[in-house]
Structure 1
């Protein structure tokens, strides 16, 4: 039984590396002469990344999930000191479903083997946080109210959306005012705004 498990684990590792090689073949043409070199280079790299338990990105209309995934991948790559186009290769290895289709389209339009990390970030932002998404997110934040949410749920959603609408709440005072305006009237009346000098802070409950 233990031997079978070891084989399964190795099979998954080999499958991941084989997947990477196939992706290289798609964007770079035949790699028969260089497969051993690529395999030896990528195998330890992807194995190390796998041990960090990175999230898979499937595509989303939620800018928070996109920002969270990109931040997580960037942190892992920085921690592992992955440089150059290997950063792009590693990150795109973790995209699936709709995000995989988007990346395949990008791969057909340009030579992604030479794509820098900055160019990848820009392409990702253009797709998942374009002008329309930004406007929608800002509008959602501006009209956010507590509704049927409990206060902690409202506070969490408020913080997530505020991250993408900083122009609407540039100071602690405006942020606190916006937060209180969204609360249920009965709760808002009971909220104590703590003032220190001219600085206003988030409500305390």
Structure 2
């Protein structure tokens, strides 16, 4: 058995679909996609892919293919065969519409496997923009659910198949989480609510603190300013105004004695100064007055003052 015959036999063991030439773009596209996947699975050489898939054409499609190969050489690549097939069985306006669907494809409510199936089908009509593995990965991740695609973006993958496998694993994990939540007991709900309440209170407290940080700092600054103002007032009062009633009585009396002695000393000094400034008008000397003048005559030397006599008439004496 030749190598080519063995390859065809291995290919047919997977029961590939046949295409009869129906005018249904969906059927034609599905046939192309199925054969492309078998080529990749069996690692069919690029030069043999068109010839092996041409063997799976039936009816009107087989006539078309036989006629073409009789006139033209067998396409050297799968890409050439795909484009010939699309031009023959899918109108150009349908191809453009499916191309736009590929560019706007999103997973939505589809599973990852359903999304991948639709992605591969529509990608056949947009090979001009998805003509490399890198671009195919980009468009595939872009259309995934955010809970799945957001995780895969950070991992970095080299092939579309690796990205697809990781998307399936992520989808399985999310489904397990949802299943656990669906089968939780009322006690679990109570615990979940309690945990959520704690987290919410913690977040609210944090948000309140963050939102009110400026206000609280202003209020703290105002309180600090008031305290400082009160302390300053109290200090000024203590320095300027004495409050003897707040002192012990003995200390107050002692302080009073000191104040009295100080006052008495000042009185003596004041009197001494006045005494020194006095001047005697008898001798003209300072330091004493005339009463205490040392130059004054003794009292005994002063002659007595004469008595006043009255002369009475004879009649007056006689009467008395």
Same fold (TM over 0.5): no
- Higher relative CO (Cα under 8 Å, sequence separation at least 6) belongs to 1
TM-score relative to the length of structure 1: 0.44
Greater Rg, structure 1 or structure 2? 2
